[in-house]
Structure 1
Amino acid sequence: MPERQRVALVTGASSGIGLATAIEFAKRGYKVFAGARRLEPMQVLKDEYGVIIFQLDVSDLDSVKNAKKFIQEQTGDDYLDFLYNNAGQSCTFPAIDVTDEQVKQCFEVNVFGPVRVVRELAPLVINAKGVIGFTGSVSGCVPFPFSSIYSATKAAIHQYAATLRVDLKPFDVKVINIVTGGVKTNIEDKRDLPSTSLYNVPGIKNAFDQRRQMAKKNNPIPPEVYAKGVVDDFENASLGGKLNIYRGRMAFFLGHLMYFVPRFIVELALLRKFGLFGVFDAIKQKYSKVKLQ
């Protein structure tokens, strides 16, 4: 009986990390499914690499359930060897400016989405004794300014992955979390501060731009390089092996920073890096004698 071709699913595959990782899986001979909300950007995956593309919105339960059916129909089987939860949503706003809708959108894609994808597709991964992976982030480890919501989603997914790893041990399913540093992608949040923001003081525009473009301005690695490492990580995953794997510019350093450097020093370094000392002084002066309502 011929050996079964192994199957991979990559979510959020319309650009950046997801697109590059789908290509890398395909280059290594896997049957690859690539899902995203937009089909058009993924056409190159189908045309040039034979990847099976389909519409997938991880924030919609019916869409996720349909993804399972689609994979079963296309493979004629009930196996999924590699499940890469990569779909992501940025959110770069001060904590007191973010709206309910922005919070909901970020958590829907970054946390609830992977949770429902894992739950619905778990039977296929269990059948294959496969690997489930997540795109984590150094933002889940370091308190970058104006990143409270995005950081919270990534910290949540880090802990979800850690506990999922324990839960799935009896099924021989491996779980890995890719703590991601700088990678050249288009995830940058381009939304401006609201006009009502208390942070609208002299200097905030430049500081806010510096923060939003953090990855772009710090020599990020190409997504193709990142993808090769990630597919290696999936192929080399083992029960009891590494959970957190560090990929991207400064990922290992930032992923461990808070363990070794006092928090107040990290906070001061971040304020200096993004030019926020002057901004925060202006905020103090502006509101020191004003009663907010």
Structure 2
Amino acid sequence: MTKKVVLITGASSGMGLAAAKLFAKKGWIVYAGARRVERMQELEDFGINVMALDVTNKESARIFVNTAKTEQQRIDVLINNAGYGEFGPIEDVSIEKAQSQFDVNLFGLAQLTHFVLPIMRRQHAGRIINVSSIAADVYSPFGGWYYSSKAALNQWSDVLDSESERFGIRSIVIQPGTTRSQWSTIAFQNGFDNLQKDSPYSPIGKRVQKVFDKFINLTQATAEDVAHVFYHAATDPRPKYRYYTHFSDHAVVSFVRHFPRTYHYIVKNLF
């Protein structure tokens, strides 16, 4: 039986690293990409193909996809996992940094997908798994550009699914909630770095960080938990267009969608 081939971006840490190991254990041929190759030594020792990848660089993305295509003659799944949080008040975050947020979280993965789609269309099979967040629906102060990038990703993925399903290709969204990782630490460091001198938003940022820390301490979700969701989405015989790590994540998103005014009231009072 021919082994299936998966491409995973943002594979040097967290969910991407855990997913690369899981797919390899399941017998898949894995191509793991990240900007910092030295952080993927563990994966290379595991027999995984590791490559330097900057999703915002068109040539880097082309090489990543073409290497897998040339060596394996097929690509079954692309997991668009690379992303980060450019936190900070909307007034204080520069437009240049906001554009960088979208370059990584949306346009970079769109470029990779452009390279993969013709291959999958010729196969008449394939899955594009887009790692979004419950933050596409749930919001708070201090994260406007990050939340916007994830909301845009969800809409983009749904449109792609409506266009590509006729060719045997599915575009699927994963919406994890809070996960035990370094993501929030980096996001809030970016947020406080983005504050202008004597910014009136500084107290809000500290309050939001305190609330985030409480939620993260309560959550039991690990990178390995989310990696199993990735695998389920890649192998589900009847794939859904949304996957969540826990029922609670789905419940929160459903609440926000059905009671937007109530949620907005909660946000204003909580922060």
Structure 1 and Structure 2 fold alike (TM over 0.5): yes
Report runs of 4+ in structure 1 exceeding 4 Å deviation.
none
Q: Say what the alpha-carbon RMSD is for the aligned residues.
A: 1.9
> Which residue matches 2:224?
224
Q: Does 2:200 match 1:198?
A: yes
User: Structure 2 matches for 1:80-229, cutoff 5 A?
Assistant: 80-128=75-123, 129-188=125-184, 189=187, 190-191=189-190, 192=192, 193-200=195-202, 203-204=203-204, 206-210=206-210, 213=213, 216-229=216-229
Q: Which has the higher helix share?
A: 2
CA distance, structure 2, for counterparts of residue 223 and residue 271 of structure 1 = 31
Aligned residue identity for 2:210: Q
Aligned residue identity for 1:161: S
CA distance, structure 1, for counterparts of residue 98 and residue 235 of structure 2 = 34
> Which residue matches 1:289?
none
> Which residue matches 1:30?
28
Deviation at 1:220, TM superposition (A): 4.2
Report if aligned partners of 1:226, 1:248 keep a CA contact under 8 Å in 2: no
Q: Does 2:48 match 1:51?
A: yes
Report if aligned partners of 2:229, 2:244 keep a CA contact under 8 Å in 1: no
TM-score of the aligned structures, taking structure 1 as reference length:
0.84
**CA gap 1:272/1:218 in 2 versus in 1, 3 angstroms:** farther
SS at match of 1:216: helix
Aligned residue identity for 1:94: P
Aligned to 1:15, which of 13, 20, 29? 13
- Who wins on radius of gyration, i.e. which is larger? 1
Aligned to 1:69, which of 66, 75, 79? 66
Report if aligned partners of 1:142, 1:257 keep a CA contact under 8 Å in 2: no
SS at match of 1:59: coil
5+ residue gaps in structure 2?
Answer: none
**CA gap 1:206/1:260 in 2 versus in 1, 3 angstroms:** same
Alignment deviations for residues 78-108 of structure 1 (CA, whole Å, 9 cap, x no partner): x100110010020211111111221011100
**CA gap 1:36/1:272 in 2 versus in 1, 3 angstroms:** same
Aligned length: 264
Report if aligned partners of 1:34, 1:54 keep a CA contact under 8 Å in 2: yes
TM-score of the aligned structures, taking structure 2 as reference length:
0.91
Deviation at 1:257, TM superposition (A): 1.8
Report if aligned partners of 1:131, 1:237 keep a CA contact under 8 Å in 2: no
**CA gap 1:81/1:143 in 2 versus in 1, 3 angstroms:** same
CA distance, structure 1, for counterparts of residue 22 and residue 163 of structure 2 = 29
CA distance, structure 1, for counterparts of residue 147 and residue 243 of structure 2 = 18
Q: Does 2:230 match 1:233?
A: no
Report if aligned partners of 2:19, 2:230 keep a CA contact under 8 Å in 1: yes
CA distance, structure 2, for counterparts of residue 40 and residue 225 of structure 1 = 25
